[in-house]
Structure 1
Amino acid sequence: MIRLPGVQYPWRFRLVLVVLAVLVAAIAWRIVDLQVVDRDFLQSHGDARSLRHIPIPAHRGLITDRNGEPLAVSTPVMTLWANPKELLPAAGRIPELAALLGLEPRALVQRIEQNARREFIYLMRGLTPEQGQAVLEYRIPGVYGVEEFRRFYPAGEVTAHVVGFTDIDDKGREGVELAFDEWLAGVPGKRQVLKDRRGKLIKDIQVTQNAKSGKALALSIDLRLQYLAHRELRNALQEFGAKAGSLVMLDVKSGEVLAMVNQPTYNPNNRRNLNPQAMRNRAMIDVFEPGSTVKPFSIAAALGTGRWKPESTVDTHPGSLRIGRYTIRDVSRGGVLDLTQILMKSSNVGISKIAFDIGAEPIYAVMQQAGLGQDTGLGFPGERVGNLPNHRKWPQAETATLAYGYGLSVTAVQLAHAYAVLANEGKNVPLSMVRQDRLPQPVQVMDAAVAKQVLQMLQAVVEEPGGGGARAKVPGYHVGGKSGTARKAAVGSKGYVDKAYRSFFAGVGPMDNPRIATVVMIDEPSNGAYYGGLVSAPVFGKVMAGALRLMNIAPDNLPAEAQPQKLAQVNGGRF
């Protein structure tokens, strides 16, 4: 008799039925759980494959000069991109696309084929919205557009070193654009859209987060003075065949940078053939030995000790001074000179003998407190501090060279800041690249009487015969300053480059109530002249003359009959 397996082993059959029933129940429960109880999981994953958040570009903050003139603005542009997986099936339209974009068809085809496995490549960036929309209207498969912003600089090369520029992604890369990137950069918004699995836009649903524009920034720069300084510095370089140059102009009372220009410069709106050397903001990055322009601070140190008076004299005969292996020489013949005449004649021998008498420590202290070799606090990218040497025991040679401007290194901004301290009656005001709505609190770092005495000497350097600064005179105004000429130190070796000089002029004006401090540095003039009084002083005079008039500062050196017609200062001297 034959028995069926199910009848022979009934418990096995029942076990299989129970297992199948449990599996069916588990599957049913999972379906119910996903569709009813825990449906957010599937919904979120479904939305992730259909709902998208695309960024809404944010408007970068406007940069202006102190008077509201735009220096950097953001303009809307369109970027065209392609999905090669969609574009290759319509390869017959690639030549049409190339013609619209002004590209070579074969090169475009090759580029798309090389990226055939990718779903995104840039076609062209920075198009005007009209240009981009004109391409999109041809409805070429796989070609899309996205709105962006591009930075434009109305003043071009005139403000390039100060303002800097942004990269193609609108991130700050140089100058103020980099230093204040977080302030200027906006916060992109978000737009919720519905796309299919190929990424095509099906529906624009809603804006989930509005774009937040960047904050505006008003610089301390006066664009009128910037144009003036740019023109005169460029003309001087052309006239004297110089390699490079810098000019810095400061407001003595507020510490604001009114103008800062460099040559060579560049156009930030077109950087295709940019020379990296032209991008350097030399006024803040290049350091140099300031030469005779620091002699007024050595004189201030001597007056500050009380051992010396303006009428004190030094015998500089025979115009040279031997110190060990070194010989200090004067350009002019030696003689008995008072302190004013030492500055007028720019006597290295005279200033060295004064330094030997008072020691290097007072000179070092005055230079340090005036900001030489110190951080300016501007926070400018790449700014260098320079070097103000300090020895535990000062040898004679180092004492002398410090006094007449060798052995230390400074920037043009630091030198202008130091002269601003002199002009501000010995008060040190923090420098600012941003417009100040109220005057900062100054710090008294030099005796006011000493500062005034040195200013009178600097006025004599410009106005008295034989002072060496005659070419810096400004019609209608009393100004003061000091020229300087320094040999260029060799790079990578000791000593100096043969027949290579830097020419300087640093000064302030007007002398009855100093408002502006200006420094001019011209690197390697080659057309004959190279002394600061011949090369840099005329630039100072022209720029100072224009600046005083543009700022409506009252003349202080008019003929007696013209005094009643003096212009009134605006807002108590502020502008």
Structure 2
Amino acid sequence: MARDRRKKPKYLFFQGRHWFVLVCLVMGTMALAVRGLYVQVIDNDLLQAEGLERQVRVLKMMPARGKILDRRGHVLAVSTPVDAIWAHPASLRQARADWPRLANTLGMETADIGRILKRNINKGFVYIKRSLSPALASQVAALGVRGVYRQREYHRYYPAGRIAGHLLGFTDVDDRGQEGAELAFENHLGGVVGQKRVRRDRRGHTVENLDQISPVHHGRELQLSIDVRIQFAAHQALARTLVEHKAAGGTAIVLDSRTGEILAMVNLPEFNPNDRSTFNTNVMRNRAVTDIFEPGSTVKPFTLSLALQSGIFTPDTKIPTSPGVLVLDRRRIRDIRDYGVLTLANVLVKSSNIGTAKIALELNPSQLVATLQSVGFGQLTGVELPGERSGVLQSKERWRLSEHATLSYGYG
């Protein structure tokens, strides 16, 4: 019986794979079609929202800081518009080829941009350079570098420079008050940041203002009692006095005797608020406000007024001051020379320490303390500048003679 010598098809195995691949392709195509239908029709709102989020941004609207004026309307501080260049780190990293052009325009090294992005790679915002002139910022914007944007800011300028540095203080890079009147009146000068919603194109350029979320409120003007002309004259006079007496520093305050208003307040050495390289903590303190000084002979009129009020003394009461030295508790009290016998009125004219001390020793020291407290000694003046100290006015149950005497003429 003959055998059937026919062989099985040679490519049967490969034909089965063909059908398997074809079925997979059809199923994959159907899956893609179903997914496309889902996202285009069923989940269309989500995609539109995500697309809109990539186009719409909320931007800050920075307020202009209010001017500071002197009593005659002369500008002491004003904010001028400047621009900041900022970037979206992830986007700018993808534009590495544009880094040299960007760095060259900003006066930076290309490596500087790389370091800034490396430190802030996980952030959505980083400043590249701030306080640029609007003209330079326009040049940067014209480069069209991906992920690089400009933002309007303000830079503080002080026309009087170092003449009024301690009094006015200064602001930081965000135009917020840090010292002096700038800090004391921050809420008045600073204003309120606003927000607006804008639409941007794929390069990040604003193409449409959509709406205003919150309005920007610019800072208000502040007028001080200072007269810049008197401020300048006081500065010059103090500088000459320091040279004459070879002093390391000094303070001068000019008051209107009728109203008590401060017309000038000067400290030396000084600093220039327009030049941060001159900033030094040793000279930036407004010593006229923060430091405590002995009141000196300014106390004498109050001591003599108490003497007259007591009824013990009259303007013509004679006070012996010879020989120009008075020893109390082994402490020497001196006049600049021997004035001999002085009337109470002439004790004030000559500013005699001995005459004032002898008058005070006839009065109750507690009454003298109360008199000085009643006119503001040992209390804050309310000058509204930061760091003011009230001074020290001692009140004791028992006074040594030397303490009683020195209290009366303001030294010791």
TM over 0.5: yes
Matching of residue 393 in structure 1 with residue 398 in structure 2: yes
Asked whether the equivalents of residues 332 and 345 of structure 1 are also in contact (C-alpha less than 8 Å), the reply is no
> Which stretch shows the higher mean deviation, 300-309 or 91-100?
91-100
Residue of structure 2 in register with 1:283 after alignment: 288
What's the CA shift for 1:42?
Answer: 9.2
Residue of structure 1 in register with 2:336 after alignment: 331
Residue of structure 2 in register with 1:570 after alignment: none
Asked whether the equivalents of residues 267 and 287 of structure 2 are also in contact (C-alpha less than 8 Å), the reply is yes
1:91 to 84, 88, 96: 96
What's the CA shift for 1:201?
Answer: 4.4
2:383 to 378, 382, 392: 378
Residue of structure 2 in register with 1:165 after alignment: 170
**Pairing of 1:25-64 with structure 2 (within 5 A):** 50-64=55-69
The one-letter code of the counterpart of 2:346 is: Q
Taking a change above 3 Å as real, the CA distance of residues 293 and 134 of structure 1, as seen in their structure-2 partners, is same
Taking a change above 3 Å as real, the CA distance of residues 64 and 207 of structure 1, as seen in their structure-2 partners, is farther
CA distances 1:51-108 after superposition (whole Å, capped 9, x unpaired): 3221111111111111111111111110011223222233233222222111233333
Give the gaps of 5 or more residues in structure 2: 1-37
- If the length of structure 2 is used for normalisation, what is the TM-score? 0.82
2:303 to 298, 308, 312: 298
- If the length of structure 1 is used for normalisation, what is the TM-score? 0.60
The one-letter code of the counterpart of 2:146 is: P
Asked whether the equivalents of residues 193 and 201 of structure 1 are also in contact (C-alpha less than 8 Å), the reply is no
1:108 to 101, 107, 113: 113
Residue of structure 2 in register with 1:204 after alignment: 208
Secondary structure of 1:375's match?
coil
The one-letter code of the counterpart of 2:246 is: G
Residue of structure 2 in register with 1:217 after alignment: 222
Residue of structure 1 in register with 2:147 after alignment: 142
Matching of residue 271 in structure 1 with residue 276 in structure 2: yes
What's the CA shift for 1:382?
Answer: 0.5
Taking a change above 3 Å as real, the CA distance of residues 388 and 275 of structure 1, as seen in their structure-2 partners, is same
Aligned-residue Cα RMSD (Å) equals 2.6
Taking a change above 3 Å as real, the CA distance of residues 207 and 74 of structure 1, as seen in their structure-2 partners, is farther
1:383 & 1:45 partners in 2: Cα distance? 55
Asked whether the equivalents of residues 315 and 335 of structure 1 are also in contact (C-alpha less than 8 Å), the reply is yes
What's the CA shift for 1:356?
Answer: 0.9
What's the CA shift for 1:307?
Answer: 1.2
1:376 & 1:114 partners in 2: Cα distance? 48
The one-letter code of the counterpart of 2:228 is: L
1:150 & 1:352 partners in 2: Cα distance? 55
Taking a change above 3 Å as real, the CA distance of residues 361 and 42 of structure 1, as seen in their structure-2 partners, is farther
1:374 & 1:263 partners in 2: Cα distance? 25
The one-letter code of the counterpart of 2:190 is: A
2:48 & 2:394 partners in 1: Cα distance? 70
The one-letter code of the counterpart of 2:335 is: D
**Larger Cα-atom Rg:** 2
**Pairing of 1:477-496 with structure 2 (within 5 A):** none
Taking a change above 3 Å as real, the CA distance of residues 315 and 175 of structure 1, as seen in their structure-2 partners, is same
Residue of structure 2 in register with 1:127 after alignment: 132
**What is the identity percentage for the equivalent residue pairs of Structure 1 and Structure 2?**
43
Asked whether the equivalents of residues 170 and 180 of structure 2 are also in contact (C-alpha less than 8 Å), the reply is yes
Taking a change above 3 Å as real, the CA distance of residues 43 and 368 of structure 1, as seen in their structure-2 partners, is farther
The one-letter code of the counterpart of 1:404 is: Y
**Pairing of 1:151-550 with structure 2 (within 5 A):** 151-195=156-200, 200-201=204-205, 203-208=207-212, 209-333=214-338, 335-407=340-412
2:87 & 2:49 partners in 1: Cα distance? 28
Secondary structure of 1:258's match?
strand
1:151 & 1:163 partners in 2: Cα distance? 11
Asked whether the equivalents of residues 52 and 193 of structure 1 are also in contact (C-alpha less than 8 Å), the reply is yes
Taking a change above 3 Å as real, the CA distance of residues 48 and 398 of structure 1, as seen in their structure-2 partners, is farther
Residue of structure 2 in register with 1:573 after alignment: none
Q: How many residues align?
A: 372
